[in-house]
Structure 1
């Protein structure tokens, strides 16, 4: 019997949409109370990892990191000693969802914010979570933290971010999980129409909106950094590689070399997740050795377009030792967790 395959991909967005806010009687902003659970493989989780680092929220919200692979049941803490998250003392993220709702019926997803006193999930609603880190946790931002969602730019930012989400972030999945040729063809055309638009937009401006990095750049970067290692081949997004888009490739390198972006990227975990977990697309489970990653730290030349990464702010400080990416998984990262330019 042949398994039924959906002709076109539709993302399940039925998340736990509770929020941690300043005035919430249930989930108030409270440093030390919550743990952000991510996987470095997941682009949606990477958004939160980057925003947390850029804003300097490491002391306010702790970080739990799941391994890059999971089964149909849950993400697991297999990177930690004994396979247990050292703070939550649980082997699977599913346990935190079950603590919130026994028999939890929906997907176990990262990123998730977990309440430490009850060891239960508060929210996995990633589209709202990064905005709340910006707006609700501002009392705990580091000195010099950038304004990632400026009020004066929101009228321009919001439609840009919406198009990035629907056409690029989700567009690569629409290609990869298409179950019929017409659905794939349509998804492919939509994706590259959007990438062509971004290539043109970024030809004469350094950042997507304004003259310093914003949340729009964070949300686009997490897809761009996965494009050549995963989406180009695995998801059949193969009209062109990222390195074949002059402006987009230079823009991506500019962001990658900015503290908070490239120093949180784990290329090996990214590849292992997609090529191992998606057994319907890659039944052999073979993880490709490529692509060559040496170009990520080469000069990008974007300084000539003006602007600066952090505007009137400053770069985040050093990454805590326990949160550093393994240099074996990102050749641009040194043992100290700092990005080092290619020779």
Structure 2
């Protein structure tokens, strides 16, 4: 059995723990959480050892792999320590919100010779898997442009995340959209120009962007546009609204994750979240499929489809788009 440690037992950490329990080839050997009450509950729930500090977990436990499910800006230390100890790592996206730290993380992973999967979960999300297969089959011809809109309701930065002040729609949302563009096109991005708005959240005491729009240029003289905000009203049918348009020389694709085929009308009208619905008690969501693929990477010695170099590139792009907003100029990637 592959022994996993999980750092951070919020919603994501619990999804991963449940997935490991169902895998049949791995087990949750230890967990960490700075919230002692949460830690106690999850130690009992998963019948495992628990620590309030991940450093202590690394000292006490013999682990094969670790999942880093900490806030966006707190990925470096657990990743580097795990790599130095020869422990395989799955780390949530974005890889890092700091370019220098991201570079150090990649170097540590290479030195340690460990496998690393970066949690760009939409590479395992069935609509995007289907889109990727269509692109790779050549049905669209060469991709000419991509247009993405990924928004969250204001619930996310004001209630769901306790640390949104230390993030932006760029790090939290655009990192998904931009990774998909790089994955779908498989062409080097070379420059970015972006703008951002700070109004609503600042008025609520959260000094971060409400929305960001960016244009990325690729080395094949094509472009992609991205927009993300996280101030949609909480009355939206779903927590998020994700639409993706892929236009090629010979055809196009339109992905709409907001319309998940089932609508419910009771006291209010809402969309039922169907992607990732459990089937016969089995977890089918993109995060679960991503983790199961990582377990297979460890078992069979294969490389993750979203590795540290993908994470570093994503950090470079999102870092550059923030710099573009601040300086009002095009930034080279």
Q: TM-score with structure 2 length normalisation? A: 0.30
Q: TM-score with structure 1 length normalisation? A: 0.29
Q: Whose strand proportion is higher, 1 or 2?
A: 2
